[in-house]
A and B are shown apart, each in its own frame.
Chain A
Amino acid sequence: MKHGRWRFLLAALVPALVLHVVFVLSPYAQAFYLSLTDWTGVAGEAHFVGTDNFARLGGDSLFLDAVRNNAVMLVVVPVVTIAIALFLASMLNGRRPVRGASAYQIVYFFPQMLSLVIIGVLWAFVYSPNNGLLNSGLRAAGLSSLTQSWLGEPSWALIAVMAVVIWSSVGFYVVLFSAAIDGIPRELFEAATLDGAGRWATFRGVTLPLVRESVQVAFVYLGIVALDGFVLVQVMTVGPGGPDGATEVVGLSLYRTAFTYGKFGYATAMGVALFFATLTLAVFALRWGRRNQVEMA
């Protein structure tokens, strides 16, 4: 029996561990070393340059554009997405059941099923200046003055991209928050109604505090989404990343630096920077979560 136990454990763990070490752990480990070299892809030609790559990042204006855009997305995308999703979820699961609530949930969740490439190609058409859905709709509604070259105007391009991120994310969080609101005992809503609380007061006083944990989860997930943005930008925008760096994101800079210019060491330094940004986000989220737990106790 003892013998069979070890044989089973080895058979269960070793194949997965080998894959994990070769394709996941070793690349991550190598990345930290490579970021300190000037490697351009030729075997044995990596020179150790210390933190030179990171110093160069600070003066790389396109990379700084990317950092700025990711930072803007990090602030805007989670807040707007969560606000819309919370609003819709509390409407769907309010005090009075809404007819067709489950049909709405089905429709809202559609975009979550589609790959970001499909979404990007689709929205590039929606934004198309002459025959896109948006501009021709505005013209038909007599609002020609509002038509834009949405992805061609530096001041609009990032907003247009963020709108797509939000469009594709809201449905998932409506479902997530709906499940959380569903878990709130109905008596609490009834008590609030008896106390004469209106919709807003009920939302502030009952719903929001009790779905707080889901909202925190949503902030972390959307934060990770906002630090990425690569696929949509790569598929939708001019350049990609344009016009004039207006939609550049860190992932795109990394990809281009590595696989177009072959500056692998420098590109990996961008990856390390992105890793620390993600880590900071996670630490903040954990801290925030813990403090709120203490408050609740």
Chain B
Amino acid sequence: MTALMQRPPVRVSDAAPPVSRPNPLPHLAMLAWAVVTALPLIWAVMSSLKTDEEILNHPWSPPASPQFENWARAWTTASIGRYFFNSLIVVGGALLLTMLLGSLVAYAVARYQFRGNRLVYYTFVAAMFFPVFLALVPLFFVVRQLGLLGTYPGLILVYTAYAVPFTVFFLHSFFRTLPTEVAEAAFLDGCSHGAVFFRVMLPLARPGLVAVGVFNFLGLWNQYLLPLVLNPDPDRYVLAQGLAALSVSQGYDSDWSGLFAGLTIAMLPVLVAYVAFQRHIRAGMTAGAVR
């Protein structure tokens, strides 16, 4: 096949259909954008293994010998390790709580008729259309008054509160499309409402839960505005905050290699996970837009 495609074009006659002429433009354009996308990322990973001198004087050349101690320094001295675990705690807690509360609300609203059903649904969905900036100032004082400023529980609760509306919106339509027979059979067998939800409906909704879970994880992991305002204690910084603070402080110290290493540590796990699960992730991320 390849050989056929690459053979020089044979002149048959002028009447030959123009369709068979291979056009190099599409491939060139696609290649160009791939380079534009990948080059800065590769450059950052490469720079994280160089010495400061190499970074300053030879920005384009690969490291003479890879400096893995840059990574160790970023992880410990520059506290990237601590920020990483803070993010893990906050995002893990918020993700669990969001999925639990979001699926409960979506299920209750999608499957039960009760007074105020529509009101509950639109109360949640309407919140998606307000910019977070509008709530920022009052939110700061609400969190401060509750004594939750700069605490893990405070961040987890606020993250959850702002992730639930989309989760409800997404899973609501999902629970609607699930068949009713299984649930009815479970009720006849004497299952309680809670048991039907946890044992029957949640497993059935798994594809939807995975999609919205991936979406929520990325959104929460990359959150910056909320922790910037609500999490002022440097010991509890999440990864995004830590990196931003680091880019300022390392600039003063001129520890460029350390900063590139921090950047790489923050970047690589996400990219590796993405390559491993890319089909699910792309489906989950775009499904939100199409629905």
Is A145 at the interface (CB under 8 A from chain B)? no
Whether the Cβ atoms of B131 and A227 lie closer than 8 Å is yes
Say yes or no: A278-B129 contact (C-beta < 8 A), given A5-B193, A98-B26, A112-B285.
yes
For the complex, count residues of B whose C-beta is within 8 A of A: 89
Q: What is the 8 Å Cβ interface bit string for chain B, positions 210-234, against chain A (1 contact, 0 not)?
A: 0000000010011011001100000
* B84-128, CB < 8 A from A: 101-102, 104-105, 107-108, 112, 114, 120, 123-124, 127
Is B161 at the interface (CB under 8 A from chain A)? yes
Which label, helix, strand, loop or mixed, suits the secondary structure of the B interface?
helix
Q: What is the 8 Å Cβ interface bit string for chain A, positions 175-187, against chain B (1 contact, 0 not)?
A: 1100100000000
Whether the Cβ atoms of A118 and B289 lie closer than 8 Å is no
Is B271 at the interface (CB under 8 A from chain A)? yes
Of B8-16, B54-62, B65-73, the one contacting chain A is B54-62
Contact check: which of A5, A20, A30, A227 meets B138 at CB < 8 Å?
Answer: A30
Is B263 at the interface (CB under 8 A from chain A)? yes
Whether the Cβ atoms of A271 and B134 lie closer than 8 Å is yes
Whether the Cβ atoms of B161 and A133 lie closer than 8 Å is no
Whether the Cβ atoms of B101 and A19 lie closer than 8 Å is yes
A125 vs B261: C-alpha distance in the bound complex, in angstroms?
13
Whether the Cβ atoms of A107 and B240 lie closer than 8 Å is no
Whether the Cβ atoms of B285 and A172 lie closer than 8 Å is yes
For the complex, count residues of A whose C-beta is within 8 A of B: 97
A123 vs B39: C-alpha distance in the bound complex, in angstroms?
11
Whether the Cβ atoms of A13 and B104 lie closer than 8 Å is yes
* A81-120, CB < 8 A from B: 84, 87-88, 91-92, 94, 98, 104-118, 120
A112 vs B267: C-alpha distance in the bound complex, in angstroms?
12
In whole Å, how far is B86's beta carbon from the nearest beta carbon of chain A?
14
Whether the Cβ atoms of A24 and B282 lie closer than 8 Å is no
Whether the Cβ atoms of B221 and A115 lie closer than 8 Å is yes
Whether the Cβ atoms of B244 and A107 lie closer than 8 Å is no
Whether the Cβ atoms of A126 and B290 lie closer than 8 Å is no
Residue with the highest number of chain A CB atoms closer than 10 Å, among B124, B157, B161: B161
Of A47-55, A148-156, A252-260, A288-296, the one contacting chain B is A252-260
Is A275 at the interface (CB under 8 A from chain B)? yes
Whether the Cβ atoms of A24 and B135 lie closer than 8 Å is yes
* Cβ–Cβ < 8 Å partners of B55 in chain A: 131
Nearest residue in B to A106 (C-beta to C-beta)? B278
A231 vs B224: C-alpha distance in the bound complex, in angstroms?
7
* Cβ–Cβ < 8 Å partners of B247 in chain A: 121, 124, 235
Say yes or no: A235-B40 contact (C-beta < 8 A), given A9-B114, A25-B127, A108-B34.
no
Whether the Cβ atoms of A16 and B105 lie closer than 8 Å is yes
Is B200 at the interface (CB under 8 A from chain A)? no
Is B7 at the interface (CB under 8 A from chain A)? no
Whether the Cβ atoms of A113 and B218 lie closer than 8 Å is yes
Say yes or no: A12-B107 contact (C-beta < 8 A), given A20-B161, A133-B43.
yes
Say yes or no: A268-B137 contact (C-beta < 8 A), given A122-B263, A179-B290.
yes
Whether the Cβ atoms of A118 and B33 lie closer than 8 Å is no
Whether the Cβ atoms of B130 and A275 lie closer than 8 Å is yes
Q: What is the 8 Å Cβ interface bit string for chain B, positions 159-203, against chain A (1 contact, 0 not)?
A: 011101100100000000000000000000000111001000000
* Cβ–Cβ < 8 Å partners of B114 in chain A: 9
Say yes or no: A28-B135 contact (C-beta < 8 A), given A9-B114, A122-B44, A132-B59.
yes
Nearest residue in A to B102 (C-beta to C-beta)? A16
Contact check: which of A4, A110, A121, A167 meets B271 at CB < 8 Å?
Answer: A110
A5 vs B247: C-alpha distance in the bound complex, in angstroms?
54
A108 vs B30: C-alpha distance in the bound complex, in angstroms?
9
A94 vs B228: C-alpha distance in the bound complex, in angstroms?
44
Whether the Cβ atoms of A19 and B267 lie closer than 8 Å is no
Nearest residue in B to A19 (C-beta to C-beta)? B161
Nearest residue in B to A278 (C-beta to C-beta)? B131
Is A160 at the interface (CB under 8 A from chain B)? no
Whether the Cβ atoms of A31 and B134 lie closer than 8 Å is yes
Is A36 at the interface (CB under 8 A from chain B)? no
A113 vs B217: C-alpha distance in the bound complex, in angstroms?
11
* Cβ–Cβ < 8 Å partners of B285 in chain A: 112, 172, 175
Whether the Cβ atoms of A87 and B29 lie closer than 8 Å is yes
Whether the Cβ atoms of B271 and A113 lie closer than 8 Å is yes
* Cβ–Cβ < 8 Å partners of B123 in chain A: 17, 20, 25
* Cβ–Cβ < 8 Å partners of B278 in chain A: 106, 109
In whole Å, how far is B17's beta carbon from the nearest beta carbon of chain A?
9
* B254-290, CB < 8 A from A: 259-260, 263, 266-267, 270-271, 274-275, 278, 281-282, 285-286, 289-290
* Cβ–Cβ < 8 Å partners of B102 in chain A: 16
Contact check: which of B26, B34, B56, B243 meets A94 at CB < 8 Å?
Answer: B26
Is B133 at the interface (CB under 8 A from chain A)? yes
Is B158 at the interface (CB under 8 A from chain A)? yes
In whole Å, how far is A70's beta carbon from the nearest beta carbon of chain B?
12
Whether the Cβ atoms of A26 and B134 lie closer than 8 Å is no
Contact check: which of B29, B165, B259 meets A121 at CB < 8 Å?
Answer: B259
Is A230 at the interface (CB under 8 A from chain B)? yes
* Cβ–Cβ < 8 Å partners of B289 in chain A: 176, 217-218, 221
Whether the Cβ atoms of B243 and A118 lie closer than 8 Å is yes
Sampled A-B contacts (6; CB under 8 Å): A23-B143, A31-B137, A98-B27, A113-B271, A179-B290, A278-B131
